[in-house]
Amino acid sequence: MKYKRILLKLSGESLMGNKQFGIDHDILNQYANEIKNTVDHGVEVAIVIGGGNIFRGIQADEAGIDRVQGDYMGMLATVINSMALQSALERIEVNTRLQSAIKMEQICEPYIKRRAIRHLEKGRVVIFGAGTGNPYFTTDTAACLRAIEVEADVVMKGTRVDGIYSADPEKDKTATKYDTISFDEVYQKGLTIMDLTAFTLCNENKLPIIVFDMNKIGNLMKIVQGETVGTLVEF
């Protein structure tokens, strides 16, 4: 395997499937099976999920909710998604642990770096909920931060597109896909992969990022085996 320990970042929106809101259970079960296949091949998997299918902190302004309060509401949404994925994984006999940046003793462990690493070493999937536990930070930033802390080999951002393009492929038919691109090129071209705080964290800590289509069955396994899928952001 090319990667022994990965941090998989999933967007909350991807869990919606074709729905307008909430969780599409077919998509959830598909993701769980993809993750199980990877774990069964000896890869250590940590996961961060967004909460945009339920609530986004940025929606708070529109509703007249204080931004900090809205961000905390968004963190709780990520815990709901994390619990749903945990349940889907355990239903197919994958050992998991859910750790939260906000204390919720009845449903998950508090985030402790050494405990998280120990779980990974024992072959358990560790799901990190509630973002960083701080307002004004996205789940992309949480994913990159946790990946650095648990010493992951790569951040794998599973999306609904198959990589990074020179422009939005849905709007520009001439947009070309990159198989690999450097961090400096992403800055220079002004490409949006994840928020700048998250991206800079990976750059400064020499942690590669792979952007790929999580909805295509088999992609996750192909990447950990070293096949070229999606776009690799490297140095």
pLDDT tens digits along 177-189: 999 999 999 999 9
Residue 62: which pLDDT band, with cuts at 50, 70 and 90? confident
Angstrom distance (rounded) from CA 164 to CA 191: 8
* Number of domains observed in the structure of the chain: 1
Structure tokens at 60: 């708070």
162 by DSSP, 3-state: which? coil
Pairing assessment for the beta strands 164-165 and 177-178 based on DSSP bridges: antiparallel
* Residues contacting 27, CB < 8 A, separation 6+: 14, 15, 16, 17, 215
Q: What are the two backbone dihedrals, phi and then psi, of residue 175, each rounded to the nearest 5 degrees?
A: -60, 135
For residue 58, the model assigns a pLDDT of 65
Q: Are 100 and 108 in contact (CB under 8 A)?
A: yes
- CATH code for the domain in which residue 215 is found: 3.40.1160.10
| Choice between 120 and 167, residue whose per-residue pLDDT is larger | 120
User: Which tens digit of pLDDT belongs to each residue from 214-226?
Assistant: 999 999 999 999 9
**What residue numbers bound the domain in which 43 lies?**
5-234
- Per-residue pLDDT, averaged over 195-210, amounts to 96
**Secondary structure (3-state) at 23:** coil
Lookup result for tokens 């991206």: 199
94 versus 13: the higher-pLDDT residue is 94
Residue 110 phi, psi dihedral angles, 5° rounding: -70, 150
CB 50 within 8 A of CB 11: yes
pTM of the predicted model, to two decimals? 0.95
CB 63 within 8 A of CB 57: no
- pLDDT band at residue 60, thresholds of 50, 70 and 90? confident
Section 14-41 average pLDDT:
94
